[in-house]
Amino acid sequence: MSIDYQEAIPKRENIKLSDLIRQLRERMEFDLQPCAAESHAENKFITEADLHRPGLALAGYTDLFTYHRIQVIGNTEVDFVNSLSPAKRAEVFDKLLNFDIPVIFLTDHNKLDQSILDLADKKNIPVYQTSVETTKFMFLLRDFLEDYFALQTMLHGTMVDVYGIGILISGKSGIGKSEVALDLLERGHRLVSDDVVMLTKKSNVLLASATEMNKHFMEIRGLGIVDVMSMFGIRAIRYQKRLEVVLKLALWEDTPNINRTGLNHDHATILGTKIPLIQLPVTPGKNITVIAEVIAMNHLLKHYGYDAAEAFQKKIKAHINDKSKVHEMPKRAIEYFEGDFE
């Protein structure tokens, strides 16, 4: 089933190298030391999250060299380069640096000859050195770039964290999404975003957050704007949460096909990712807050391999297949009632 959301926000096309270096230093706390052509970082742009280690290119094979990606030179590449004669080393890098490489990172305290750095400076190719181990550096850098270039969209609803499960409460305006979230906050759960939810797709996972404008704020009809963090404290908010369940609230007459057993699993498709969908009819007196908690706990049980609907179905099938019990009346769950004086 589809959920109403805006079209995907166009992906960012690039990030300026100088901005990337600044954010890696500030956010990731990388110690990046410039080795060559630092002034040209303003004119270089990164266009994708994939990284490249130029082992084959250093060995001379450049037919499939993805030079437009960030180049990472670690222990293996440096050991290979150091095994070459000075003349061959110069020849290899003269060929390599003829490509329009956006940047080269030297990891794990590795260094290149000053003559090679001078050549990179001459070719306007920035080179940076870091003490971070190669695998860790590539993992963190790729994760940062995947987030930067990720697909995003905005969705109308309220995102809450209930028992560690990210639930998006959706439905028509005025149906009571914010009121349910407010009641959940009173019961110790946490708000991610109200009214407008920003979704980011990373590695086939949807991460939800608020926007800069509505962060920590809620709108309660008849009351107005509420500052959740000021009123309930830091324990009542989250900056981000993985979207795991969509809870769609609707009027009874608008939900003709209600799932009675839980054996039929509906899904909402958002940015190409399927998310479990539960449609809940709203009627006077129904405690949506408690049901939301049960939805979260039931999702946890399924995650750990137990599905109550399937377990109940198996019991019914086992009873039907037992020919000796076909005509028997159902028995009590307990054979003998002890005296109960409470």
Q: Show which residues are catalytic.
A: 156, 177, 195, 260
First-to-last C-alpha distance (Å) of the chain: 49
Nearest-angstrom CA–CA distance, 182 and 224: 13
Q: Kindly provide the b/e burial profile for residues 129-149, where b requires at least 16 CB atoms within 10 angstroms of the residue's own CB.
A: bbebebeebbebbeebbbebb
Nearest-angstrom CA–CA distance, 244 and 162: 11
Nearest-angstrom CA–CA distance, 281 and 276: 17
Q: Which amino acid is at 288?
A: I
Q: CA-based angle 212:216:218, to the nearest 5?
A: 110
State how far the alpha carbon of 35 is from the alpha carbons of 51, 87, 103, 216, 259, in Å: 20, 22, 11, 43, 63
Are 187 and 289 in contact by the 8 Å Cβ rule? The answer is yes
**Chain centre distance of CA 264:** 27
Contacts of 182 (CB under 8 A, 6+ apart): 218, 220, 226
Three-class secondary structure of residue 278 per DSSP = strand
Are 180 and 289 in contact by the 8 Å Cβ rule? The answer is yes
Are 89 and 113 in contact by the 8 Å Cβ rule? The answer is yes
DSSP assignments along 183-194, one per residue: HHHHTT-EEEEE
Q: Which helix (H) or strand (E) holds 33?
A: strand 33-36
Burial of 114 (0-12, 13-18, 19+ CB in 10 A): exposed
Nearest-angstrom CA–CA distance, 35 and 17: 15
